[in-house]
Structure 1
């Protein structure tokens, strides 16, 4: 054990990653910890990996830089699942793995061999889906469904308490429904408000019940490899448990996570202070993994340089997740020769429902042109806006739609995070008696905006929309004044949250990290958003959590199946 050498702290607390420590053999280091499987990162993917490895008989150790939970604990707790789950059947939906596969093949852009994963892997994911929900239920996660209540609810970004099965993506949108019978696959963990914490607590309880040790406030800054490149373990920078430094570090990070959405700059300064504490007070210890190391630290949306380098079109969005989503797992994998892919893929969530009448308006870009079916899932709208329209867009409503939307925001029982931004946006939106005057106020070409409104109104009257919006979402914009709601990605009033989707390339049968030549890196695995997976092309609510759990179990089981002799070879 040795005291760490202080180094400068990143201005936003991003964990520095070093080149691997290369040793001649296992005997070259003093290992404070020994285990079969070492899991780096303790969110859904890490917990699932550890549980799977331990249930397979492998001694398992989790290393977590903070207190655990990661982005999972801050999420809505939606698990995308189908194929005929008990919740679907109880609600009267006859879903099948084949229908789920066809939908996800279209949703994830898998046609023509362009998917993030192979069709065979996507099919396995769909075939395993019902079993994943049953496994979660077996460890205490509760799901539910109420057909009488849920079938009357409008499309929403996040359902009210009491609704635990809903359409969480584009399942009911015309072109998607044409390839697969619509079925709700958003399985929300039963709980109050955002259910991600409830999901993680069930996973944590299972980890504890299995006797898996968790080293908290311990950041992995580099891997340990032998001369052949086999990953032997990791170097941890650990704050001494129960020390004043550890207590202050915990206070700083809890405050940073609490304030991130309202004061991100201040939260970053708190993160930088926490990293400075780690640099000054942490001690270096080494953990030996006899069978494998699983990297499961999340994506990289909190790493501004990585986002700027790989996904600059999303630099203006609001970072969604937790501080650990700084790409440390991806960078650790790359340091050992791992290849990354799809780092340009980001999910930007521009939800315009609720209020439920907003999708009856039209979204236009900086040229005054309508660019997307407003009925679609928020990430499809957000990604289209960022990728092809410079992240700039306005939602046009007339007086009638605005009045209905204000009423719903005030009295419709929406969550505060849905109603307050919507009200603020509508109350202070530019307005005008004519479309041309509104265009002048927001700096759009008047002729183009007028043409967009007229074409939409013509389609609304004929119940035949040029962009495929279903009849129930069509409403003629004919009652002035007209309002322009700024829904641009850079909006501070109406933030556009984003998560990264790309990661390390992995062997789809095992989760082993691949090098540039497509070969397994011995002793190294990745799961969740640290790895390329089911959700690495496009995202709908719950798909990332489902992928984290599914890929985490895959990596944990594969690592546990390796014998120490195989790992050494």
Structure 2
């Protein structure tokens, strides 16, 4: 076993000396990690009357949550959806999330959808409001402060036939793609402090402490050269994913090890996940990465067509960017090209998918890219035939994005892994119940242990079905549930 995949030792309470235990502080709930999930868990536990300690390895709060795009995936009829005229219901949201989940856990999806409107209100009660406005363009994130847009595949085949589409990407009302979430985390920190949570920065958990019966009853911590223990009625692990741990990435999600830019903070090293494994918790969906390199905006590029090394189409190009990227990852050598004619091409200011060149003829294009002679000619003829008819019977691309590509020269954008600027993070983690209780392979719970956020497996979406805003949405929602349940359990044990 490599160093980065080592499972921490478990400490048994009955073998720790009386002197050690006597010097340990005791809390009802100890939360590991002050990102969105950990902050929400700590706040709800404290509001439920628990004495709470929150440990954060960094010098400040926020974690990877503060680096995210500012989307919360919420629906079921939120105030923003209603104000902008978008009909939605918990049932339609549920049907959609079931459709895009790899192994849907129906109780979790149902809880998330039925609790989404309440959770929307809880988030705003932190001290901000989502703008009651809608951004209609196809984009990765709103450029301004618009409060709502599509951040998934709701309008994309086959999901549009399985659930009524509705936009559910609720963005924090701050321009840009990171400052908004930082604002939410600052507000969450203020609410956590008001609730009386004790926060220790630059302090991380190193080992879990269990009773003779196997229940988690505390943990060991380290802060620089200082070490110690705390006793706990329950421990909530919310310490992030493992994208920054090369050994774990190589073992579980080797695609992320090849060339993508990793999206994470320094402490997304999988330690929280390994702490869960140390006491017998099952790890789920560890091989599922999120990998993406959006080729839009500009949205006009979606009217083009994407081919692999055989010069053939392989997906509907109007999918949300992570879905299209996952299809690319499945092609030989993870290679693909976006081809757009001169009538429809537009050039982004900051292209994540670089332009290779423009070609006067398709034959010249095939030669330059090393594609089989006549392959793209055949694909283009078929694509134009479908575009003229207004229906993509081959891959079901929506009619609004179908346009004949006949006017040379043709621009080619490079979607190959290692050429396009792919970015990614991990999706797998500790198996948990709907209330965040860590579970063993047989489904039984590890008493006293909870997990939430990126180190837990909750909605179980794969890369093709991922919706932007899920990490913040489910992390905050299930973090709250874990905190409340942990507070109840620890209270019952007092």
State the TM-score, normalized to the length of structure 2.
0.93
Cα distance in 1 between the residues matched to 2:449 and 2:83: 41
2:124 counterpart of 1:137: yes
Number of aligned residues: 484
Residue deviations 1:423-474 (CA, integer Å, cap 9, x gap): x823xx2332222221221222232222222211111111111211112211
User: 2:476 is matched with which residue: 528, 549, 552?
Assistant: 549
Q: How many angstroms apart in 1 are the aligned matches of 2:96 and 2:491?
A: 41
Query: Secondary structure of the equivalent of 2:424?
Result: strand
Compare the two structures and name the one with the higher helix fraction: 1
Alignment deviations for residues 289-342 of structure 1 (CA, whole Å, 9 cap, x no partner): 1x2110111111111211211122332222112122211111110011111011
- Distance (Å, rounded) in 2 between the aligned partners of 1:172 and 1:64: 39
Partner of 1:263: none
Q: CA deviation at 1:356?
A: 1.0
Distance 1:307 1:203 in 2: 31
SS at match of 2:446: strand
Alignment-derived partner of residue 24 in structure 1 = 14
Deviates more, 1:358-367 or 1:77-86: 358-367
Moved more, 175-184 or 326-335: 175-184
Q: Partner of 1:562: helix, strand, or coil?
A: helix
Pairing partner for 1:477 from 395, 405, 419: 405
Match of 2:444 among 500, 516, 519: 519
Matching residue of 2:29: 37
**SS state of the match for residue 45, structure 2?**
helix
Q: CA deviation at 1:27?
A: 6.5
> Which ranges of structure 1 fall in alignment gaps of 5 or more residues?
1-8, 240-281, 410-418
CA–CA distance in 2 between the matches of 1:464 and 1:69?
A: 46
2:360 counterpart of 1:433:
yes
2:156 aligns with one of 150, 170, 173? 173
The answer to whether the 8 A contact 1:527-1:548 is kept is: yes
CA distance in 2, matches of 1:440, 1:134: 57
* More moved, 171-180 vs 89-98: 171-180
**What is the alpha-carbon distance in structure 2 between the residues aligned to residue 505 and residue 363 of structure 1?**
37
Report the secondary structure of 2:351's partner residue.
helix
Equivalence for 1:504: 430
**Relative to structure 1, is the Cα distance of residues 75 and 517 closer, same or farther in structure 2, using a 3 angstrom cutoff?**
same
SS of equivalent to 2:29: strand
Residue of structure 1 equivalent to 2:175: 192
2:95 match: 102
- Partner of residue 307, structure 2: 364
Name the structure 1 match of 2:280.
337
- Looking at structure 1, the residues matched to 271 and 37 of structure 2 have their Cα atoms a distance apart, in angstroms, of 15
Q: How far off its partner does 1:51 sit?
A: 0.7
Match of 2:327 among 384, 393, 396: 384
- 1: CA distance, partners of 2:15 / 2:192: 31
Post-superposition offset of 1:535: 4.3
Q: Distance in 1 between matches of 2:174 and 2:128?
A: 10
1:75 maps onto 2:99 in alignment: no
> How do 1:12-411 and structure 2 match up within 5 A?
18-24=8-14, 28=18, 29-30=20-21, 31-66=23-58, 67-109=60-102, 114-115=103-104, 117=105, 119-147=106-134, 150=135, 153-194=136-177, 195-239=180-224, 282-289=225-232, 291-316=233-258, 317-402=260-345, 405-406=346-347, 409=348
Q: Is the 8 A contact 2:263 2:425 kept in 1?
A: yes
Q: What is the CA deviation profile of residues 10-64 of structure 1, one whole-angstrom value per residue up to 9, with x for unaligned ones?
A: 8xxx697621122307864334432110100110000010011001100111111
Of 171-180 and 512-521, more deviation after overlay is shown by 171-180
CA contact (8 A) 1:502 1:536 kept: no
Question: Which runs of 5 or more structure 2 residues have no equivalent in the other structure?
Answer: none
Q: What is the distance in 2 between the residues matched to 1:181 and 1:303? A: 39
2: distance between equivalents of 1:383 and 1:304? 21
Determine whether 1:420 maps to 2:350. yes
Structure-2 separation of matches of 1:33 and 1:539: 41
Deviation track 1:228-280 (CA, whole Å, cap 9, x = no partner) reads 222121111103xxxxxxxxxxxxxxxxxxxxxxxxxxxxxxxxxxxxxxxxx
2-side partners of 1:95 and 1:173: how far apart?
Answer: 17
Q: Secondary structure at 2:158's aligned position in 1?
A: helix
Name the residue aligned to 1:257. none
> Contact between 2:108 and 2:458, CA under 8 Å: does it hold in 1?
no
Q: CA deviation at 1:137?
A: 0.9
State the SS of the aligned residue for 2:447: strand
Equivalents in 2 of 1:482, 1:34: separation in Å? 67
Q: 2 CA distance for matches of 1:22 and 1:338?
A: 17
C-alpha separation in 1, matches of 2:49 and 2:17: 25
Question: Cα deviation per residue 1:173-226 (whole Å; 9 max; x = unaligned)?
Answer: 243222222211110011121222122112111111112111111122211222
Does structure 2 conserve the Cα–Cα contact (< 8 Å) formed by 1:17 and 1:221? Answer: no
User: TM-score, normalised to structure 1's length?
Assistant: 0.81
Do the aligned residues in 2 keep the contact of 1:395 with 1:484 (CA within 8 Å)?
yes
Question: 3-state DSSP class of the match of 1:220?
Answer: strand
